[in-house]
Amino acid sequence: MNDENLIKKAEKEIEGNLGGGDKGPDEEERKTVVEQLLEILETIGVQLFLDEHSEPHVTIPEKPLVAYPIDSVFFKRYLRRLYWENCQKGLGSEILNQVIGTLEGKAASEDDKKTLYNRIARVGGKIFYDLGDDRQTVEIDNEGWRLSANCPVRFHRFKHQLPQAVPVSGGNWREILKYVNLRDSQSQLLFLTYIPAALIPDIPRVILVCAGLQGSAKSTAMRVARSLIDPSSAELASPARDLIELGQTANHNFCLYLDNMSPLNDELSDALCRLVTGIGFAKRKLYTDDEDILFNQKVAIGLTGINVVAQKPDVLDRCLILNFERINDDERLEEEQFWKQFNEEKPLLLGALFDVLSGVLKHASEIALTRKPRMADYARYAAAAAIVLGETTESFLAAFGENTKRQNSASIESSSTAQVVLEFMSDRDEWEGASSELYGILKQVAEKGNLQIGGAGGFPKAANWLWRKIKEVKPNLQSLGVEVVCEEISANSVIRLWRSSQDAANTATNATESSEVRGGNKDGVAMDTATDETDNPSHEQIDMATVAAIFEEEKCSFCGGNEFWTRQDGERICSVCHPPIVPLPGK
């Protein structure tokens, strides 16, 4: 072949690549299939839009409440089924990807944006609860609740989510206590008000902490709450392997309840705080690009453990701590019997729950907090729930104040630094001096009390860490009547401690009625002003007794001696009654 022929052949190939030549039968067929599918989708009413992150989504006529990513496995299978039903032909991957790309471009060009929700949405003063049947929601407002097929919002759907029972009217919300092993009235009130407040999706909610021995039904209580709020085939989860997995799991769950937890490390503690407040996580879609996926919804967090697993004060401030006692064997129900009875009563319980939630929406704005705790929004909605249940603000605040005491106790118990500061200040009104001097004094106190030195919860090993450790528990020290400040004087740190005259009981949040409802309202809902709780024991009286016990001098119950040695099994033995055997030299 001469050069002229080679040039002509190359020109024909270039012309064909640029689209100037005739289209082959395969390309014509591919174009026909794409057009057919697009026409079918338009005819049946498939809707295209972008979510709040500008990701293309679709809703289909069979599931009008559910939004699916256009490139999801579910929608690809839907397209294959649709094409088979209409054309009795299979749909190849190449044509399928071309259809997906065309639909994504169409969604982007129309620029119709919708915010997607997970199980519960709050829009225009109403709450829409997704029952998971793909067609109807429960619509709740300040006038009541009703089943509705006309929902203005769209929901995510994840594989683990289960349909919710259809609620019915006529139930009593207090009947839920039959299924929760809480025996004191204050803990019961905290649980009764937690679940309605947890259904408010756009506020930070407390971390529900259920602590108790094996056989105390703490996990059962968490499963009951999960079943009513956000039913799932994975009711209680295990800790995630890393923060990215934690963020993704949280993004797929309205409730993230973690079971049988050990004490939380700093990284997990900080991550849970972010999830409570809605501060997002981000990850790359692929390791080969810089495009991010965002996880940023507010999540209802729950933790179970034998002890209170949260230790950092920043986490404990966000916790609602409920203690569970072991159930006697003769009082225990079989699992099958328990859940059969619960599921039979569940529609009535849900109806009663939505009754309370409607009342919360009606009266929450009438509750004013004169002192705002860390979780002020939650406290206001939970207080409204208590009022709807016929309780007073005084009774709710008393119960919430007990939770604050448990928070402070847990913070003190998990911090050697807090314990030594409280012991040091137990017999003095004020102290001021150099940070290094205070460190030396407090270290001696820690060693005397056999407290941990070093580590996350231990007394610091070096003086330059003392103030950082004190800052972590400063709010807890304040609640126990100990104030502390650090000042820089001539390049030296000076720490001042003093006992305040403020009664720790006054740190509880007080709710008062607003001027619109003072003295009651036309609906007969009690809006009592919280009264002074000076008759209640203060945090200081309770926790200082605990701290004092830590440093109480150990004495032998037989001879009264205070010298001990430690046997290999860890038991402390009196050196007077049973002196240790010291081997002879050379033996």
Say if residues 145 and 354 touch (Cβ distance below 8 Å): yes
Please compute the mean of the pLDDT values over residues 338-359 and round it to a whole number: 97
Per-residue pLDDT at 226 exceeds 50: yes
pLDDT exceeds 50 at position 503: no
Q: Would you give the end-to-end CA distance of the chain in angstroms? A: 103
pLDDT of residue 491: 57
Tell me the pLDDT band of 407, cut-offs 50, 70 and 90.
confident
**What pLDDT was estimated at residue 113?**
93
At position 276, the amino acid (one-letter code) is: V
**Both tokens assigned to 84:** 């088979």
Burial 362-395 (b: 16+ CB within 10 A, else e): bbbebbeeeeebbbebbbbbbbbbbbbbebbbbb
Mean pLDDT of the chain: 81
Beta bridge partners of 453: 459
230-243 burial, b if ≥16 CB within 10 A, otherwise e?
Answer: bbbebbbbebbeee
Distance between CA 565 and CA 574 in Å, rounded? 7
Q: Which of 439, 461, 416 is nearest to 551 (CA)?
A: 416
Question: Read out DSSP for 58-126?
Answer: EEETTEEEEEEETTSHHHHHHHHHHHHHHHS----HHHHHHHHHHHHHHHHHHT-B--EESSEEEETTE
Q: What share of the chain has pLDDT > 90, as a percent?
A: 48
CA distance 424 to 484: 13
Residue range 295-318, pLDDT digits in tens: 567 899 999 998 888 878 788 889
Residues 67-78 have a mean pLDDT of 95
Task: Enter the pTM of the model.
Answer: 0.74
Lowest mean pLDDT among 14-18, 173-177, 441-445: 14-18
pLDDT higher than threshold 50 for residue 583:
no
Alpha-carbon span 255 to 248, nearest angstrom: 13
> For 558-564, what is the mean pLDDT?
60
| Contacts of 462 by beta carbon, 8 Å cutoff, 6+ apart | none
pLDDT score at 169: 97
The pLDDT of residue 432 is 93
- pLDDT bin (cut points 50, 70, 90) of residue 137 is very high
**Each residue's pLDDT tens digit, 236-268:** 988 777 888 888 888 899 999 999 888 888 888
Contact call for residues 380 and 410 (beta carbons, < 8 A): no
What DSSP designation does 454 have?
Answer: S
Which residue is associated with the tokens 């973690």?
Answer: 258
Distances in whole angstroms, Cα of residue 371 to Cα of each of 122, 391, 506, 584: 27, 20, 9, 68
The mean-pLDDT minimum among 183-197, 464-478, 544-558 falls in 544-558
- Between 27 and 279, name the one with better pLDDT: 279
Contact status, residue 213 vs residue 326, Cβ threshold 8 Å: yes
pLDDT for residue 512 is more than 70: no
Q: Greater confidence, 13 or 218?
A: 218
Tell me which of 23-37, 178-192, 481-495 is least confident. Answer: 23-37
d(CA 444, CA 366) in angstroms, rounded, equals: 52
Instruction: Specify the residue for token string 């019997």.
Output: 337
**With bands split at pLDDT 50, 70 and 90, how would you rate the model's confidence at 332?**
confident
Query: In the chain, how long is the greatest CA-to-CA distance?
Result: 118
Which percentage of the chain shows pLDDT scores above 70? 75
Is the predicted pLDDT of residue 65 greater than 90, yes or no?
A: yes
Which of 343-347, 487-491, 555-559 is least confident?
A: 555-559
Q: Cα torsion at 20, 25, 31, 32 (round to 10°)?
A: 140
The Cα 310–Cα 264 span in angstroms is: 6
**Strand 63-69 relative to strand 56-60, pairing:** antiparallel
Structure tokens at 76: 């690809």
Six token digits for residue 583: 């081997």
Q: Which residues pair with 319 in a beta bridge?
A: 207
The answer to which of 64-78, 232-246, 312-326, 536-550 has the lowest mean pLDDT is: 536-550
516: Cβ contacts below 8 Å, ≥ 6 apart: 366
Instruction: Please check the confidence at residue 287 and state whether its pLDDT lies above 90.
Output: no
- Reference 378, options 296, 301, 268; nearest CA is 301
Q: Which domains does the chain have, with CATH numbers?
A: 31-114 (no CATH), 411-506+538-551 (1.10.10), 553-587 (no CATH)
Which of the residue ranges 63-77, 187-201, 267-281, 371-385 would you say has the lowest mean pLDDT? 267-281
Statement: residue 587 has pLDDT above 90: no
pLDDT value at position 406?
83
Question: In the predicted model, what is the mean pLDDT of residues 382-411?
Answer: 87
Residues contacting residue 260 through CB under 8 Å, at least 6 positions apart:
219, 304, 305
Please tell me the predicted confidence (pLDDT) of residue 458. Answer: 86
pLDDT digits 0-9 by tens, 77-130 = 999 999 999 888 888 899 899 999 999 999 999 878 999 999 999 999 999 999
> Higher pLDDT residue, 288 or 83?
83
Please list the alpha-helical segments (H only) found in 217-265.
218-229, 243-251
Neighbouring CB atoms inside 10 A of 95's CB total 19
If pLDDT is split at 50, 70 and 90, which confidence band does 273 have?
confident
Residue 489: the pLDDT is: 64
* 492 secondary structure, DSSP code: E
Task: Return the CA Rg of the chain.
Answer: 32
